[in-house]
Structure 1
Amino acid sequence: MSTAPIFDTAVFDLDGTLLNSLEDLAVSANFALQCLGYPTRSLEEVRQFVGNGGRMLMIRALPAQASPETVQQAFEIFAKHYEQHMRDHTRPYPGIEALLSEMARRGIRMAVVSNKMNEAVGPLVKGWFGGWIPVAVGEGEQIPKKPAPQGVWRALSLLGSCRERSLYLGDSDVDVVTARNAGLYAVGCSWGFRDRTVLEQAGADRIIDRPEELLSLFSAEETKRTGERIFPDFGPDGQHRN
C-alpha cells in the first residue's frame, strides 16, 4: 500500500537557494560604497553580509561608525543601482529549473519568501520562475523580515496551503529559524551562501546537496486537479494577482 505524500507545498528562499545572485548584490553594494568614498568589499565578504535584507547588507558593508544618515544614503544608492542591474549576472543554480518543472507537473504548490526588497522579488521570480511559482513575498512595510513568520503565513494563505503539509527550503540559519517560527519543516540546501555546518548548527530537519533530492518529500504522482487554479498569474507589477 502506498503512503500519502508528506508535503504538498514548498516555500523557497530566493537568494542562495533558487538564484545565485551574489555577484550582482556585491556589485551594487560596492557601487554604493564607492559613491560615498568607502572601501569596497570582496565577494566573500558580501557572501557573509547577505541574508537579512538590503539595508542590513549595507550596514555590514559600511564601517562600524557609519551614521544612520550614511546608512540610509548607502541603502538608497544600493537599491536604485540593484534595481537596474539585478539581472546582469544572476542565474538559477544548476538543477533548479528542472526541479521546479517537475514539482509543477506533480501539482506541488510553490511560493518564494525572501528578505530581498519586494520591488526586486516579484520581477525576479516572474522572470525566472513565473511559469511555476505564482506567489512571491519580499520585504515590505506590511511584512516584517525573516525570521519573522508573517511572510511565510502570507504565502501559504495565498496558496491555500496549511503549515502541517508545507516545507521551507533555504540556504541559511535565518531560513531554518524562519521555518521553525512559521511551523514548517526546515530543509537546508548546501549549495548556497552558507555552508552545511551553519545549517546543522541551526537545527535544519534535513539538508540536501542537490535540488532533485527535494522531490523525495513529495508524491511522485500528478496531484493537480482539473479546474483547480493552483498556479494563478502574476499581475503586471510582478506581484501575485489575488
Structure 2
Amino acid sequence: MIPYSTVIFDLDGTLLDTLQDLCDSTNYALALHNMPARSLDEIRRFVGNGVGLLIHRAVPEGTPDDLEAQCLADFRAHYLLNMEHRTAPYAGVLELLDGLNKAGIKLAVVSNKFDGAVKGLCQTYFGDRVKVAIGESQGVARKPAPDTVFRALEELGADAQGAVYVGDSEVDIETARNAGLPCLSVSWGFRDTNFLLQQGAQRILSSPADLLALLTGAAN
C-alpha cells in the first residue's frame, strides 16, 4: 500500500529551476527605471513569497510605492513572454511525476507565482502529468496561508488525509503546517539542507529518485 494518495508540490525550486529567468526579468524591470541589477544569489534569497515581494526586495530601499508598482508590472509583462528561456525541470523530475502517476497518486502544484505563469509553465513542462496547477490570484491568499492547498485538494477531489506537501523552502514548511499536512522538503532547490533544518524541516530528500521511492513506498 502506498503511503500517500495525493501529493501537492511547490513549483519554483522544487519541480522547476526557474531562477535564471526570474533574475533576468527582475533585472529587466530594474534597468527600465535605472535601478541597479541584482545577482543570481540575491534573487535566490528574494524568491518564495510571490513576485510582489520579490520586486519589493529587489528595488532599492526607499523606492516610492508607485514606482515599485510599475517595476512589478514591468516584471510581470516581461516574465510572461520570457519565462521559458532558461527554465527547465530539475533532473529526474519528469521521471518522478511519471512514477507517481503510474502509482495512481493524484498530483497538484501550488505556487506563489501568479496564476497565469503557473498554469503556463506546468502545461509546457509537464503536459498532462499534473492535472491541477494553482498560482496567486485575487481572492485567494498566497502561501504560507493554506488556501491554495485546500483549493488544489478540492479540484483533485482528494481528502487531506493521505495527502503530503513537497517543497524547497521555509514558506513551504509553514504552508504544510498551516494546511495540517506532513511536509517533505527537498534540498536541490533554492534553499540548502542546513537552512531547511533551521526552519524546522522534518524530512529532507536529496534527489527526485529518493522522493519517488518514499512517496510510492519503495524506500526502506
Q: TM class, shorter-chain normalised?
A: over 0.9
1:101 aligned partner: 98
Aligned-partner residue type, residue 12 of structure 1: F
1:106-140 CA-to-partner distances (Å, cap 9, x unmatched) read 11100000000101000100111122100001000
Structure 1 CA distance for aligned equivalents of residues 87 and 216 of structure 2 = 31
Q: What amino acid does structure 2 have at the position aligned with 1:45?
A: E
TM-score computed with the length of structure 1 as normaliser: 0.87
- Aligned residue for 1:218? 215
Give the one of 70, 73, 76 matched to 1:73.
Answer: 70
Larger radius of gyration: 1
More helix by share: 2
Q: Is the 8 A contact 1:5 1:217 kept in 2?
A: no
Q: TM-score, normalised by structure 2?
A: 0.96
The residue number in structure 2 matching 1:154 is 151
Residues in 2 aligned to 1:114 and 1:22: alpha-carbon distance in whole angstroms: 14
After TM superposition, list the pairs within 5 Å mapping 1:16-165 onto structure 2. Answer: 16-165=13-162
Task: Give the equivalent residue in structure 2 for 1:175.
Answer: 172
List runs of 5+ in structure 1 lacking aligned partners.
222-242
SS of equivalent to 2:141 = coil
Identity %: 45
| Secondary structure of 1:110's aligned partner | strand
Shift of 1:94: 0.3
Name stretches of at least 5 consecutive residues in structure 2 with no aligned partner: none
User: Where does residue 4 of structure 2 map in the other structure?
Assistant: 7
Runs of 4 or more, structure 1, over 2 Å off, are: 215-221
Aligned residues: 218
CA contact (8 A) 2:27 2:38 kept: yes
Partner residue of 2:163 out of 163, 166, 191:
166
Pair 1:200 & 2:197 matched:
yes
- Give the CA deviation at 1:211: 0.6
RMSD, matched Cα: 1.2
Q: Quote the offset at 1:220 in angstroms.
A: 5.7
**Distance in 2 between the 1:155 and 1:106 partners?**
19
Aligned to 1:189: 186
CA distance in 1, matches of 2:214, 2:181: 13
